[in-house]
Structure 1
């Protein structure tokens, strides 16, 4: 017995030496990769998939479990099985931008600009950016998106020597590319701190999650090649959409 798709291609064949659960797993993963099953979409139930392919429910369950283990699917108790959003992966020891991290994972980067303003420096700004009381900082708040899905709520506090950045339109452009173009600076090293937290109401709203959901909180200070601080940042990160690797 064989099952064919809409183009009459054989999808499952019980005469094949390849186990049926692996054939089903291959078919579903290919549909995810080519967009037939969009990210975030809900799969039919195990019974419905079993009926569609003419196989047992146990075979379907095995395939879905394997796909969940490999990060293609997420199974939510009482809700069903969903196509998982692709995860942005970054080596924690490197200093790359969100745009570069997305592109390295074949994910389309974007952002939504929330705030772009010059404001008085607080005590933390003075400490991290080596400022004086009364100085100002450039505050940039954005939602960073991967494949049009919220990943990070980013709050950046830039050194005031980059104040001419205020004349730029930051919509739809890489912030680090703009800084490099205007000032010739590059990220040379950074200090990072990461801890577990829980989303407050505002974070939940912009990241499209629930208040109290677990999140990663990262604070970071970026330095140029001369050891001078460029900015410090507070990020609220969705751990199921962005992960750090340690080598």
Structure 2
């Protein structure tokens, strides 16, 4: 987890404390040093989070006294990722939002470069690209790759209205273990119009690796998620 992602998570954590009443308008929040020690992160990360919250108007710094709550954030439903769910549509519905999606592309391609490293025993892989919507608005583009050596008859399956993992389960390769990584990146130019955002805007970029019960990698997914609808969980360990 990078410092860039940590500061956003800290911002969300402080907002939640204000919204649930742990911090009230006018209350003084913890110092940068106290937050850094509590969460096991460096003070520069804490400082960046607090600075952004001041710029958004939720916090106010008073010289010589500290940082205080200025206003309560507006409530906004979020898709919470990183909590154990492997299905994006399920995560969206858990957030109290309406989920739908369309298939942008489905084809067989040669496994080259990163895909060849991921699936060394499968010369070809399926490339499935889907666009997910929240309440009718574009939310995430997901590029999913899975080996042709394990899966067949993709043309008979409705990937728009049914889960990729259900399809994998039908073939005996349900991903029982999922590893994910998160970065903050510029939205790819070719996906900016699809997601209805400006080129160069930052998005949450997730990389997922799904492994079946035999430990075989059966899914490699790249997901570009709009940040205004996304929150995520993380954990840190305090150094002793």
Establish whether TM, by shorter chain, passes 0.5: yes
Q: Which residue of 2 aligns with 1:236?
A: 224
SS at 1:192 equivalent: strand
CA drift of 1:241 comes to 1.1
Q: Deviations over 1:18-75 (max 9, x none)?
A: xxxxxxxxxxxxxxxxxxxxxxxxxxxxxxxxxxxxxxxxxxxxxxx53xx1434xxx
CA drift of 1:162 comes to 0.7
For residue 171 of structure 1, the aligned residue among 145, 160, 184 is 160
For residue 88 of structure 1, the aligned residue among 55, 58, 79 is 79
SS at 2:159 equivalent: coil
Q: Which residue of 1 aligns with 2:65?
A: none
Q: Which residue of 2 aligns with 1:199?
A: 187
CA drift of 1:115 comes to 0.3
Which structure has the larger Rg?
A: 1
Relative to structure 1, is the Cα distance of residues 224 and 169 closer, same or farther in structure 2, using a 3 angstrom cutoff?
same
CA drift of 1:172 comes to 2.2
Paired residues in the alignment total: 166
SS at 1:240 equivalent: helix
Q: Which residue of 1 aligns with 2:110?
A: 120
In the alignment, the residues of structure 2 paired with residue 164 and residue 218 of structure 1 have an alpha-carbon distance, to the nearest angstrom, of 27
Greater RCO between the two (CA within 8 Å, min separation 6)?
2
SS at 1:130 equivalent: coil
Over 3 Å off, 4+ runs? none
In the alignment, the residues of structure 2 paired with residue 125 and residue 95 of structure 1 have an alpha-carbon distance, to the nearest angstrom, of 24
| 1:71 to 2:75 alignment | yes
Extract unaligned runs of 5+ from structure 1.
Answer: 1-64, 73-85
For residue 214 of structure 1, the aligned residue among 187, 198, 202 is 202
Relative to structure 1, is the Cα distance of residues 128 and 95 closer, same or farther in structure 2, using a 3 angstrom cutoff?
farther
Extract unaligned runs of 5+ from structure 2.
Answer: 1-70, 236-240
In the alignment, the residues of structure 1 paired with residue 225 and residue 97 of structure 2 have an alpha-carbon distance, to the nearest angstrom, of 16
CA drift of 1:220 comes to 1.7
Q: Which residue of 1 aligns with 2:14?
A: none
**8 Å CA contact retained: 2:83, 2:232:** no
**8 Å CA contact retained: 1:87, 1:243:** yes
In the alignment, the residues of structure 1 paired with residue 160 and residue 185 of structure 2 have an alpha-carbon distance, to the nearest angstrom, of 29
For residue 174 of structure 2, the aligned residue among 186, 190, 198 is 186
CA drift of 1:93 comes to 5.2
CA drift of 1:129 comes to 2.2
CA drift of 1:237 comes to 1.3
For residue 131 of structure 2, the aligned residue among 131, 143, 160 is 143
SS at 1:202 equivalent: coil
